[in-house]
Structure 1
Amino acid sequence: MVVKSEPGQWVEDILPGGTTNSGPLSIYIHVPFCATRCGYCDFNTYTAQELGGMSSSTFVASAHEELRIARTVLGQRPVQTVFFGGGTPSLLPAGELVDLLRGIREAFGLTPDAEVTTEANPESVSRSYLDQLREGGFTRISLGFQSAVPHVLATLERTHTPDRGLRAARWARAAGFEHVSLDLIYGTPGETLADWQLSLDAVTATPVDHVSAYSLIVEQGTRLARQVRLGQVPMPDEDDVADKYLLADSFLRARGFRNYETSNWALPGGECRHNLAYWRGADWWGVGPGAHSHVNGVRFWNHKHPAAYAARLSAGRLAVQGREILSAQERRVERVLLELRLAEGLDLGVLTDSERARVPDLAERGLVRVAGGRLVVLERLLADGIIRELLD
């Protein structure tokens, strides 16, 4: 059930019965700024021109206010993971990111082993910038590398060079970051299998312990979607995209990376704990314009535009725009959908009797296996169809 809230509505109204969970919490901070808008992106981001001169300090002050109110609603809950995403968090001065982390620490406290990640674009970081983040408590960085091939980066409208992306990863390690991840995109128009191999070679030649690889999706309303519709950009076929996924999987596994989630590979201990919290259905609070939260089986989200977000918080009110209350059945199905993406799989006890009855046939066809009371998908490329067959 989706419910729109009135402007300024308090979370006590959005979370029926309040919250009694005192377990660990994850916090996501959405930084909505980008220097330019890439043609394939449909994220909630804004350029300086689109914001009409709104300063980053206004956003930071609003985020601090949201954290303050969140603390009054949730009570004392230790934060185990923090993730700054966007947008481009690295467009903020390092001091402002560190200041926001300080605000989280003061509001909730961090567990001793807390994972603190920021996304960053290679062209917007320097060695000194990364030193400041590390000294300020950041432990992990995820760099938007995307490709090691110049013509692929040009098609994606990314402004960094391959060398700058690789140098940023080395700088992060030299600054003392415990974990360094590079994001890749495959299936870009004009990208060959040889191009994709060059990107994989480049990534594994750097001191990273995590790689994310996502197929390029044509999102409606983007510049890329219009180009595809007009026949200006030929998209690769499904076989080409599948071949690139399989190449990445075999190549990374051969170098010690484990495919712990469909689109993510890590060396031992390098898994992104924040994303694991999402996939395992943990509670998280999303701070910032358009940020989504999940607490006690209730999803709620903020107003998307930074000005609307800031206006509500400047009045001491949350900027929540709507909520979705999940029924027990919806929560169960969501758990199936999320946990079957993981290499650890799903506890069989989550399935109904009729769903469990379908498992032997899926196993006989080599699509899944059962081990230790858990159901694991073996054919990752067929995961969506396997899940539909299981749940139908």
Structure 2
Amino acid sequence: MLPNTSFITRVQSDAPGTAEAIAEVLSKLVPEDLALIILFVGEGHDLDVIEQALAPVTRQTQIIGCTTAGEIGAGGYLEGQIVAMGLPRSLFRVATGHLSNLRQFGPEAARDLAFELRAEVTFSTADWANEVAFLLSDGLSLMEDQLVWALSEALGQSPLVGGSAGDGLSFGKTFVLHDGRFLTDAAVLALLRTPCRVTAFRFDHLEPTDHRMVVTDADPAQRLVRGINGMPAGPEYARILGKDPQQLSPFIFAANPVVSKIGDDHHVLAIQRVEPDGTLRFFSAIEPGLVLRLAQSTDLEAHLERELNRLAPKGETPAILACDCILRRLEAENTQSAHRISRLLDRFGVTGFNTYGEQFNLVHVNQTFTGLAFYPPDDDTDALANSDFTAHLVKTRADA
């Protein structure tokens, strides 16, 4: 077991009623002096009830969040819970904003928002060197590709990490949360400035194979692929796998993803579902002419443990905020490794959610484990001597 030195608050509730669950979460968060609360809301909760409970809290603390395709907290993989992470005011300056009407997306509005938020946190804490951006977006808006490109232009060298909100496996309607209100067709951006060391990370356990296929007919705006190798997309994908087209399911897609390869790097382009006409709907934009490769999974559990250990050198335990693709969770469930992976996520103190897609700097991808690892400030920073921070850290260790 890694030592628990986390200085960031993480709470959750498995209460079946929404009012009881959000009350339990807020009872543990409100007494803390927090700059930001990040809330992940599991499927089935009453969002109106949550909005009412959050109303008095938003006057003192900024709150963002989203609905999920599953949650991650104490115990690992969770379902139908409310999970939260709180960032202490003594160590974080935060500016948040949101973009509405994503389906009528204009890059100027995204760039303006990023510039505005950067200016707000930079001028208030110019002596705090580390800055990152965290993005939550409507997972059914189909606009994440354009959104991250525009935001990254304005963010410069500041890393951008995020996830697409979910709706379980229903794919009905997803919501993001800003200023105590749940919004659809929207995205919320948080700029964080801190003396803490922060590592932005993205990894996957997939290896491209030599099995190639060419997208011959596609509608990028709708993320639809109609043709592969000049044949109807669904049946051709099934043929390449040696499957009957009727067997195609989320579990098959999770186990048999496709990637685009650029140099030594690859980007996972995951399939969401097969439409009745045999068209494949993807989680990200696909262009005609794109060469795809079938990918094969390595050991998901072993790979995750190796990568999490890299984030915790010499036993140092970061607070990890994670956006974990729902397809990874489906693969874990399909291979009977979900319980072991849950123990691993719990051991490393991961907080986060299962997504419909992940964002990392300029790209929107799928089937990755993407996030931010927060480490306490170095010993020689002024913040470590801050009495509020010291008291917070001592209290957290005492409660562990």
Q: Same fold by TM-score, threshold 0.5 exceeded?
A: no
Higher relative contact order (CA 8 A, sep 6+): 2
